[in-house]
Amino acid sequence: MNPRKVWSVAWKELLQSARDPLSLGMLLGVPCMMLLLYGYAINFDVRHIALAVEDNDKSAVSRELIASFVNSTYFDQVADLPAGADLRRLTERRQAKGVLIIPEGAARDLAAGKTVPLQLLLDGVDANTATTVLGYASALIAAANVQEVAAASGRLQLAPIDFQPRVWYNPELKSTRFLIPGLIGFILMLTAVLSTAISVVREKERGTMEQLRVTSLKPGELILGKTLPYLGISLLATVLILVAARFLFGIAVAGSYFQLFAATLVYLIGALGLGLLVSSVADTQAVAFQGGALISMLPAIFLSGFIFPIRSMPRALQIVTYAVPARYFNVVLRGVILKGAGLESYPQDMAFLVVYALVVMGLAYLRLARKEV
């Protein structure tokens, strides 16, 4: 292994990237663009739900109840309906996601100590949103009940069981906090695989690979020279993503930066090795691009727990996820970024990432060191 030869290849690779704004843009620009797109677009938080109200009581009590819905900021009152309004039309035209119906005489019945039936109609087409909205509404009504009981009994009374849930690491339950670590894993996998795969296949297409094979360059020197620049560029992309996450989404790294980059390095070596493997199979840049995108993107999105929880997958798919490095990287990254945990908390996940990197790089070496291509 001659470091000068490795450096010659690495420097040439950097010069080529610098001359090719497209590839550099892909390596640095695309990650940030994806972070913006996914960060803002993939948002499971439900707020400002359009709510129509049919208040048949028009009392202080009913007004107070409506105010508690609106003040929660989860609901926006979009319509004040007269009795007997056509509710179906309203929901079909998607003017309101829900309708709150307060019966006539609600205040009177409450004062008399009777139970008042309160109806909430929900548009259940989007099941996720409906479930979330139902949760908000139940919590608001529970709070209202406590107040009513207190008012009726004439003294402040505590509920018999005071349930006080607290959510750690992501107290506001913001989905971006959960998604961004997964997004880093996904973006790095995609760019690392594509950049190495395309850079090697481009040399095959142009015939320069054959020229290199006739020089005394060893396969190990070629692999190192090809991966080091992209490793550096990918780490730079990681810094950009973290900066963007900090300023756009207010997500700071709770744990150690050193450990974060150590884990990222191991993950990237596996990803770059996968890119080399793709390049040893593909003969054209188009095939390398499609194959690389498929093999890196699909598992990193669907089988990594990035968006879809692994435990709710069918058993067979769950088994497949054990071979997806992003699955382990997501666990580690969420731990380091959100919980401030150290790598020692995830020995199995780190061990897998190391094994994956070694196996994939080893296979890539064997493929590229073949006598005949």
Partner 1 sequence: MASPALEADHLTKRFGDFVAVDDVSFDVHPGEVFGLLGSNGAGKSTVIRLFCGLLAPTSGSGRVLGIDIAKDPEGVRRRIGYMTQRFSLYDELTVRQNLNFFGGVYGLRGRAKTERLAWAIQMADLGGKEDLVTRSLPGGWKQRLALACSLLHAPRLVFLDEPTGGVDPISRRRFWGLIDSLSGEGVTIIVTTHYLDEAERCDRIALLDTGKLVALGSVAELKEVFAGRAVLEVICPRYLEAQERLEKEDWVHEVSLFGDRLHVVVDDAEEGRRRILALLESDGNTPATAERIVPSLEDVFIHSIEAQGGKA
The answer to whether residues 199 and 344 touch, using CB atoms and an 8 Å cutoff, is: no
Contacts of 371 (CB under 8 A, 6+ apart): none
Distance CA 72, CA 158 (A): 22
366 belongs to the binding site for partner 1 (CB under 8 A): no
210 belongs to the binding site for partner 1 (CB under 8 A): yes
4 belongs to the binding site for partner 1 (CB under 8 A): yes
- From the list 86, 162, 344, 372, which residue makes contact with partner 1 (rule: CB under 8 A)? 372
Within 10 angstroms of residue 71's Cβ, the number of other Cβ atoms is 10
284 belongs to the binding site for partner 1 (CB under 8 A): no
206 belongs to the binding site for partner 1 (CB under 8 A): yes
Nearer to partner 1, 216 or 312 (CB): 216
Which of the stretches 14-22, 144-152, 256-264, 287-295 binds partner 1 when contact is defined by CB under 8 A?
14-22
- From the list 43, 208, 290, 318, which residue makes contact with partner 1 (rule: CB under 8 A)? 208
Q: How far is the CB of 286 from partner 1 (least distance, A)?
A: 18
Question: How many CA atoms, within 13 angstroms, populate the side-chain half-sphere of residue 169?
Answer: 15
Within 10 angstroms of residue 140's Cβ, the number of other Cβ atoms is 17
16 belongs to the binding site for partner 1 (CB under 8 A): yes
The SS3 assignment for 54 reads: strand
Contacts of 121 (CB under 8 A, 6+ apart): 87, 91, 98, 99, 101
Which of the stretches 9-17, 129-137, 230-238, 308-316 binds partner 1 when contact is defined by CB under 8 A?
9-17
Distance CA 5, CA 8 (A): 5
- From the list 1, 60, 161, 214, which residue makes contact with partner 1 (rule: CB under 8 A)? 214
Greatest alpha-carbon pair distance for the chain in Å reads 97
216 belongs to the binding site for partner 1 (CB under 8 A): yes
By the criterion CB under 8 A, which residues form the site for partner 1? 2, 4-5, 7-9, 11-12, 15-16, 19-20, 206-208, 210-217, 371-373
